Amino acid sequence: MTAESLRKADLLREHLRGEGTELCLFDLDDTLIYTERIFRSQMERFAAHVAMHTKSDYRDTWGLLVRFNDEAFSEYKVTKSRWHEVVRRFVDKFPDQKAVIKNGLEILLDIYNVAPGFREGAEETLGAFIATGVELGLVTHADYQWTRLKYALLEMDRFIPWKNVHVVNPYEFKTSSDWLDAISKHGFLPEQTMVVGDNVLGDIIAAREAGVEKTVYVEGTTWKLYLEGEFPSGTIVVKGGIGYLLDTLITPAPVV
């Protein structure tokens, strides 16, 4: 660690101690890593594939894909089954191109064969949290196998042991009981916990309902379904994403 990061880690330790925070739980996708980029690039490839074979306008096809994806999300959430449903809807729309559209499913399922990279500043941020001695955990509702792959490829064990990774039901947004379960597994209380995430309902509101006072929203995804809801009062909002978390926490709030 550089002198500057050691200084920030010291200030962070002071800050967390002052608040009685013993446990920090992070969301993974789009909080720590660039998950949305992987989705977007594979969705673009799929839309190009369908547009080419159905001789449709690319932008129209992209619009359909976004709509079908949003509609399928209500039933299938973040499971891979969502893409089967999206493809089924495209087949209904273009029955003459059934075979070639079905081939495109592979493009969408390729999402789960790669690991998104760390967001700018995420590794340094996790490093500073480790230096404070506070306990760290991850709470994610993504596919279990994919979570394992991401954990391995990103060498997340440098920061968080696998036993501290909580993979919850992918058929719904994280709920208050998911956060509470994770907190209890660490042997702490909600008031000793800080939760950092980018999904307003599943991370911030659900954690607050679980009794977590220290809820921290970091800008991550741009997907509108993850941005619905109002921040509970006192939520810390980190503009620019996880790379700005440390500075936001250790800089005293302006007195008004």
- Kindly state the smallest distance separating residue 114's Cβ from Mg ion, in Å: 17
Specify the residue, 29 or 178, whose C-beta has the smaller distance to Mg ion: 29
For residue 226, the minimal CB distance to Mg ion (Å) is: 7
Select from 22, 30, 124, 213 the one that contacts Mg ion (CB under 5 A).
30
Name the residue nearer to Mg ion (CB basis): 49 or 82. 82
Q: What is the footprint of Mg ion within residues 31-70 (CB under 5 A)?
A: 31
Interacting positions 199-218 with Mg ion (CB under 5 A): 199
Residue with tokens 């789009």: 30
Name the minimum Å distance from CB 220 to Mg ion: 6
Binds Mg ion (CB under 5 A): choice among 16, 22, 23, 29: 29
Of the pair 68, 223, the CB lying nearest Mg ion is at: 223
**Spatial separation of the C-alpha atoms in residues 157 and 151, rounded to whole Å:** 7
Could you tell me the smallest distance in angstroms from the CB atom of residue 96 to Mg ion? 38
Are the C-beta atoms of residues 243 and 125 closer than 8 Å to each other?
yes
Q: Does 22 bind Mg ion (CB under 5 A)?
A: no
Q: Residues 204, 197: contact at Cβ < 8 Å?
A: yes
Q: What are phi and psi of 195, to 5 degrees?
A: -115, 130
CB of 203 to Mg ion, least distance (A): 7
Q: How many residues bind Mg ion, per CB under 5 A?
A: 6
Which 3 state secondary structure label does DSSP give 191?
helix
**Candidates 55-63, 162-170, 178-186, 196-204; binding stretch for Mg ion (CB under 5 A):** 196-204
What minimum distance in Å lies between the beta carbon of 174 and Mg ion? Answer: 9
Residues 123-182 that bind Mg ion (CB under 5 A): none
Residue 27 contacts Mg ion per CB under 5 A: yes
Q: Kindly state whether residue 198 participates in binding Mg ion, applying the rule CB under 5 A.
A: yes
Tell me which residue of 237, 231, 223 sits closest to 30, measured CA to CA: 223
Backbone angles phi, psi at 81, to 5 degrees: -55, -25
Q: What is the DSSP letter of 56?
A: -
* Residue 20: half-sphere exposure toward Cβ, Cα within 13 Å: 7
Which residues lie across from 135 on neighbouring strands? 23
Least separation in angstroms between residue 57's CB and Mg ion is 32
Only segment of 28-36, 84-92, 142-150, 234-242 that touches Mg ion (CB under 5 A) = 28-36
Distance, CA of 171 to chain centre: 15
Stretch in the footprint of Mg ion (CB under 5 A) among 19-27, 155-163, 205-213, 227-235? 19-27
User: What are the Cα distances from residue 163, in Å, to 23, 65, 109, 138, 205?
Assistant: 14, 37, 27, 10, 25
Of the chain, the end-to-end C-alpha distance in Å amounts to: 35
Edge-first strand order for the sheet with 236-238 is 165-167, 135-140, 23-26, 193-197, 214-218, 236-238
Residues at the contact surface with Mg ion, assessed by CB under 5 A? 27, 29-31, 198-199
